[in-house]
Amino acid sequence: MKMRLLLASLIMVFLASSCSTDPIEPTDVPSAINAVEVEHELLGIVNAHRSAMGQGDLSFSPVAYEHANDHNDYMVATGTLSHHNFSLRASQISSETNAEFVAENIAKGYATAAEAFQNWLDSPNHKRTLEDDFTHTAISVKVDDNGTFYYTQLFYR
């Protein structure tokens, strides 16, 4: 009986310690270099696509840009492509801008704005976000020490 209790306790401790959670972005993430020309080019491509579809241009949002930059710094620092802490970013953007809906597209490894855009266009979920009824956006493009490009585009209405 004692052996079963001990075994059950060990299993419970193992299970409790092996659960994964959404990581919290560290506050001391170093800032990577922005590829500003690529950011501007990608925004132009996105707005040209939306215009061709009869959608309005997206207005640049400094608030969303700050959050997109912070998330790109996190992805560069961790070397991962992720939506970690998106709900926190969305909540903060909503709180700061009175937005009613926030969405995000991310990408990694595309050397040009056109390649990143085509990747999003080829994905039904990303395409839907690009073409949805948003009013504001910001695009952060950062490059790591190996020359890999990271993209975060935030949208809201």
Write down the pTM of the prediction.
0.82
- List the beta strands (DSSP E) in the chain: 33-34, 59-60, 102-108, 136-143, 149-156
d(CA 57, CA 129): 14
Render pLDDT for 73-96 as a digit per residue (tens, 0 to 9).
999 999 999 999 999 999 999 999
At residue 118, the 3 state secondary structure works out as: helix
Quick count: other Cβ atoms within 10 Å of Cβ 86?
A: 18
Beta carbons within 8 Å of 53's beta carbon, 6+ residues apart? 131
**pLDDT tens string 5-36:** 443 343 333 333 333 334 444 446 788 899 99
In a 3-state reduction of DSSP, which class is residue 30?
coil
